[in-house]
Structures are given as C-alpha cells and as structure tokens.
Structure 1
C-alpha cells in the first residue's frame, strides 16, 4: 500500500495545491454554506458532515477517488500519492470529503495524512 497525502482547500482563498489528483467539489455537490444554520460551522461539526455526505453522488466519488489512488499506488514509481480536493471556501465540502476519503483509504491499508489548508480561515461572504 502507499503513503497518501490529502489536502482540502478553498478555491476562493488561493490556487489549488500541487497534486496527482485534484477533485473540484464546487459545482456538483450540495454547499452547506447556503444554509444559514451551517454557514459558520465547519467539517468538524457533525451537521456539516451529515449534509455533505447525504448529497447524491458524494459517496460514489469517494469510492472512485480511492480506486484512482490505488491505481497510482500500483504504478512502478514509489512515492507519496497526493490528492487535493477543493470547494469554494474550504470549510465544508472539501474537508468532509477529505475525511471520508482518508477513512476509506485507511481501511484499504494505505498510510494517510490529511491537511485542511483553509478550514480555519474566515467564512467567505458571498
């Protein structure tokens, strides 16, 4: 199995980090930011995780991304496989996805680290 680094981020804060796989969650998955009761919470809060993980397609994307990581890890070159996943602000969808992917990859036997680049930044008012 491989060493995997997952970096969640917000496109509104800075450019995506360098990665083997970059997953853009902005346009296809429910944004908790639009719900006033979730806007100032983060992926560290259960209601945010529940809202994101109940979005149709998100669990299938976690599985597909895990399969892609395994494919990268099966290649002839050794090294860390880096996955970057981003949403608008980096506080809701991206870190929730990162945590779900990390759990899935850990169960599969990968050694996983997760970094939330923008989780602690202020809410982007839109």
Structure 2
C-alpha cells in the first residue's frame, strides 16, 4: 500500500501546491459560498459537508480520484503520492473532498495524511 498526502487549498489564496494529481473543483460543482447561510461556515460544519457531498458528481469524482491513486500506487516507485484538490477559497468543497478521499483510501489500506492549507483563512469576499 502507498502513503498518500492530500492537500486541500483555495486558488484565491495562493498557487496550487505541487502534486502528482491536482483536482480543480471550482467550475463543475456549486460553491457553498453562494449560499449566505453556508458562506461563513467551513468543512467542519455538517451543513457544508452535506451540501458538498450531496452535489451530483462529487462522489463519482472521489471514486475516480481514488482509482487514479491506486493506479499510481501500483507502479514501481515507492514514493509518497500527493493529491491536491482546490476550490475558490479552500474552506468548503476542497476540504470536504479531501476528507472523503482520505476516508476511502484509508479504508483501502493506504497510509493517508491530510492537510488543509486554507481552511482557517478568512472568507474571501467576492
């Protein structure tokens, strides 16, 4: 089994971190930021998790990303596999996605480390 590092981030804060796989969640999945009741919450709050995980396509992308990690892990290299996933501000979609991916990979026997680069940064006012 592989060691996998998952980094969630917000594109509006800084450049994406270096990674073997980078998943951009901005254009294809509704941003909880547009809902005033969710805007100041984070992935630590159940309403945000439910909104993100209930978005059509998110679960399928988590599964597809896990499959890509499995493919990388089956190769001859024994290094850490890094997955970066980003949304606009790094407080909603990206950390929820990262945690769902981490759970799936951990259940499959991989060693998983998760870091949320921008989760605790202030809400980006747009």
The structural deviation recorded for 1:2 is 0.3
Alignment of structure 1 residues 1-126 onto 2, 5 Å:
1-126=1-126
1:20-63 superposed Cα distances (whole Å, 9 cap, x missing partner)? 00000000011100000000000000000000000000000000
SS class of match (1:71) = helix
1:72-109 superposed Cα distances (whole Å, 9 cap, x missing partner)? 01101111000000000000000000000000001111
Count the aligned residue pairs.
Answer: 126
Give unmatched runs, 5+ long, in structure 2. Answer: none
Q: Which 4+ residue blocks in structure 1 deviate beyond 6 angstroms?
A: none
SS class of match (1:67) = helix
* Distance of 1:59 and 1:108 partners within structure 2: 16
Normalised by the length of structure 1, the TM-score is 0.99
Q: CA RMSD in A?
A: 0.3
Give unmatched runs, 5+ long, in structure 1. Answer: none
SS class of match (2:83) = strand
* Distance of 2:115 and 2:22 partners within structure 1: 14
